[in-house]
Structure 1
Amino acid sequence: MDVKLVDDTFAFFKAAKPDPRVWMFLVVIVSLLTFLCGSRFELFSLVVMLAVIMVWQKMIATAGYFTAFYTALLALNELLRLIPLKLQPISMLVAMIILLLSRLIPIYMAYIILLRKTQLNELIIALEQMHIPKMLIIPLAVVYRYVPTIKCEILYVKDSLKMRGLNQSVAGMFLHPVTTLEKFMIPLLIRSSKLADELSAAALCKGLDTKHQRTSCTGVRFDKKDAAYCAVYALVAVIFIFLHYHKIFDI
């Protein structure tokens, strides 16, 4: 993070660019498009667009993972047509799961970009500059930190189960669902409750509940370049909606 002296009295930390509001706007745009545009080509185009943004932000491995995973879902959806009629109920269930994942993946990709490219303090400052009520900022700050932390907790629980010789593979979960619920979910739920309390206390210690205006050494500013990014995202959304309602790529 770049540091600049202002008036030779205090350090001014330069905020990351683009502005957090750009990524929040991207999440809103992607959520809107996944709700309105439902064809496979439209959703795949949306995934490709988000993958390009990830590559631009040097998230190449993540972009490749999501693109490959989404392509595999489309291939699996095509293979379901070859299943005999006797197994049609199973194929319909799998098709519904694929449809759900195909709509959730673009939103998750946009969220991943926001999560990795925005610091929590910058996000809070941006929300305060937007005059968002603190009763919404505090839960959002807790959730923002909760998701990455709970992923680490899942890995810790898995490692502890492996040390005790318990099988936590996909096959083991189906063969021993009660053991999986008892040995995996219960410790995770207990730890999750403690993590939520700890994160809430940490947010309050940072002064998020104070009635006075909080100060910050990070200069978060929404400039012309950020406005241009938002304009490009809005233009892409208009193009997607135009193509959707004219059924140009309805495949």
Structure 2
Amino acid sequence: MIRSANTESRHGLSFDPRTKIILLILCVISAMIAPSLSYENLLVFAITIFGCASGKTRESLFRAAFYGVFYLLTTRIMSLEKGTLYTVFTSWLGLFYTVFPCAFLANIIISTTKVNEFLTAMNKAHIPKQLVIPLAVMLRYIPTVCEDWGYIKDAMRLRDVTPSLFGFLKNPVMTVECLYVPLLMAASNAADELSAAAVTRGIENPTPRTCLLEIRFRGRDRIVTVLAACIFVLGLIWERIVSP
């Protein structure tokens, strides 16, 4: 019996994977063309609301608070006199404000999208498997590497090595030995294991996939897509509205 994905998930609303990809594409373009920090604030606020609606309330609010602290730091730096230090900081902050919204939304998408739902949605959209298979492996690869990262940090603390920038500056050789080498090995092993598991489960099977969930666009998907498109268009005409 096919179960409908029309109901709310255990911790929040479920959205169609195709909707999430559209949101991510619009977010990347919006972050690249962001005309001002005010528009950037609006973009991050919209992503925070989407994260809370998807069931990632605590994580979204924490990242929004981190962004708020960074924004206050930015306003402080912008008040400095122009010089070498000002130029270095503004260049780095510009990169941060371009990457942060995209990484914020991507984290929400990866943590709320199951591989089987993603594959079914991509098949319905007639996306080539040459593109779908790497993306499907990526959905499992990133959480697996993050889990290994937590294990490595716990092991480092047992050896009295701090997994931080201060620990790296204090004892760089030991930090590299205990952190980066195991992480690279774990990442390589995870890639091989996930690829083998995907092939074993028939990811390359040319026949159409079946899924217990009914993947389709719903009212919430249309509303979210329209709002994202409005924010994108607002970024294009922002300067005309703010300074006519």
State the TM bucket, normalised to the shorter chain: 0.7 to 0.9
State the structure with more CA Rg. 1
CA positional deviation for 1:89: 3.8
* Paired residues, number: 237
CA positional deviation for 1:151: 0.9
Query: 1:167-182 to 2 correspondence within 5 Å?
Result: 167-182=162-177
Q: Which piece of structure 1 moves more, 223-232 or 158-167?
A: 223-232
Give the aligned CA root-mean-square deviation in angstroms.
2.2
1:12 has 2:2 as partner: yes
In 2, are the aligned partners of 1:46 and 1:106 still within 8 Å (CA)?
yes
* Unaligned segments of structure 1, at least 5 residues: 1-10
CA positional deviation for 1:46: 0.6
Q: Deviations over 1:66-124 (max 9, x none)?
A: 22111111222233356688xx5455333332221111111112212212332211111
Query: 1:161-240 to 2 correspondence within 5 Å?
Result: 161-240=156-235
CA positional deviation for 1:32: 1.0
* Unaligned segments of structure 2, at least 5 residues: 7-13
CA positional deviation for 1:161: 1.4
1:66 has 2:63 as partner: yes
Counterparts of 1:192 and 1:63, CA distance in 2: 26
1:248 has 2:242 as partner: yes
CA positional deviation for 1:165: 2.2
Specify which of 24, 27, 44 is matched with residue 24 of structure 2. Answer: 27
CA positional deviation for 1:141: 0.9
Specify which of 101, 125, 133 is matched with residue 128 of structure 2. Answer: 133
Query: 1:40-55 to 2 correspondence within 5 Å?
Result: 40-55=37-52
**TM-score between both structures, scaled by the size of structure 2:** 0.87
Counterpart of 2:69 in structure 1: which amino acid? A
Classify 1:249/1:153 alpha carbon distance in 2 versus 1 (closer, same or farther; 3 Å).
Answer: farther
Q: Which piece of structure 1 moves more, 206-215 or 152-161?
A: 206-215
Counterparts of 1:82 and 1:37, CA distance in 2: 21
The aligned residue for residue 74 of structure 2 is 77
**TM-score between both structures, scaled by the size of structure 1:** 0.85
Classify 1:174/1:209 alpha carbon distance in 2 versus 1 (closer, same or farther; 3 Å).
Answer: same
The aligned residue for residue 142 of structure 2 is 147
Q: Deviations over 1:156-185 (max 9, x none)?
A: 111111112223333111222232222210
The aligned residue for residue 10 of structure 2 is none
The aligned residue for residue 158 of structure 1 is 153
Classify 1:81/1:107 alpha carbon distance in 2 versus 1 (closer, same or farther; 3 Å).
Answer: closer
Classify 1:167/1:59 alpha carbon distance in 2 versus 1 (closer, same or farther; 3 Å).
Answer: closer
Classify 1:183/1:117 alpha carbon distance in 2 versus 1 (closer, same or farther; 3 Å).
Answer: closer
Counterpart of 2:242 in structure 1: which amino acid? I
Counterparts of 1:224 and 1:162, CA distance in 2: 48
Counterpart of 2:139 in structure 1: which amino acid? Y
